[in-house]
Amino acid sequence: MAERRDLSDEPLILISNDDGIDAPGILALAAAMDGLGAIHVVAPVNEQSAVGHAITVRDPVRARPWPFRVPSGEVPAHAVTGTPADCVKLAINQLLPRTPDLVVSGINRGPNTAVNVIYSGTVSAATEAAILGVDAVAFSLCDWHAEDYESPGRVARLIAQKVLQKGLPHGILLNVNIPARPFEELRGMAVTRQARSRWEESFVEREDPLKQPYYWLSGHFVNLDEGENTDLGAVENDYVSITPIHYDLTAYEHLDALKAWDWDE
């Protein structure tokens, strides 16, 4: 193992994802954080894409040390038999020497724009950090088949540096979507909102060897939003999309109208 400096006064950066600890995106994200602080990787041992904010409460969760290298050397890492939210909970409460200064999640294989935020394990790792009071950023690359994570890694480093410098308001995390373009071809950073969108879905029905039907979710994504400043619009125009999101799902603008219903009638 490479010799390590005393990192006690450096920021502590926790790195997680939903594609699994051996995915290329988390390797690129860890490499991108190299030198910004002490790094600790805690990520699912198996892919957990689209598990949303699921947590494991009926089974034991195991964490085993995992060999993980960044350019400057070996960093501590654990592979966890759980979800992204489990990873962040376990890391912050148990595995890390102290509360991290920043949690970064990704770099996800595929976008997490618009309604997909709600299904995303990548975003949920960052959301869990925000719930626990730690600044957090989720990073996604807008290409399901990407192999080159060099450009999004450079973007992630710039954004992590900014967040370490500025800090985030309590309860707010950043959801970053990065176009799959060479770094030089990106047109800049855009602060955006989630586009209105939905999936037009269908199920493929097949029969298993026991003659029982099974179903496989299929569908295509529809952008319903022609408005300005959307995450989808930004990435379509080669801007990095930065959306501040929060986990308080209360629809405050509807509180008064709903109070006016005669609930005790």
Residues that bind Mn ion (CB under 5 A): 18-19, 49, 108
Measured from the CB atom, is 144 or 183 closer to Mn ion? Answer: 144
Alpha carbon separation from 7 to 30, 32, 119, 149, 197 (Å, rounded): 16, 17, 35, 27, 44
How many angstroms from the chain centroid is the CA of residue 177? 10
Q: How far is the CB of 226 from Mn ion (least distance, A)?
A: 28
What's the Rg (C-alpha) of the chain? 20
- Listing DSSP states for 216-247 in one string gives EEEEEEEE---SSSBHHHHHHTTPEEEEEEES
Q: How far is the CB of 24 from Mn ion (least distance, A)?
A: 12
Q: Which residue is nearest to Mn ion (CB)?
A: 49
Measured from the CB atom, is 86 or 101 closer to Mn ion? Answer: 86
- Listing DSSP states for 56-118 in one string gives --SS---EEE---EETTEE--EEEESS-HHHHHHHIIIIISSS--SEEEEEEEES---GGGGG
Q: How far is the CB of 80 from Mn ion (least distance, A)?
A: 15
Q: How far is the CB of 34 from Mn ion (least distance, A)?
A: 22
Both tokens of 129, joined, read 């950090």
Read off the DSSP letter of residue 137.
E
Q: How far is the CB of 229 from Mn ion (least distance, A)?
A: 25
Q: How far is the CB of 44 from Mn ion (least distance, A)?
A: 10
Measured from the CB atom, is 11 or 20 closer to Mn ion? Answer: 20
Measured from the CB atom, is 49 or 241 closer to Mn ion? Answer: 49
φ/ψ of residue 136, rounded to 5: -150, 145
Nearest of 120, 101, 112, 168 to residue 140 by alpha carbon: 112
Secondary element (H or E) of residue 38: strand 38-44
Measured from the CB atom, is 30 or 38 closer to Mn ion? Answer: 30
Measured from the CB atom, is 18 or 101 closer to Mn ion? Answer: 18
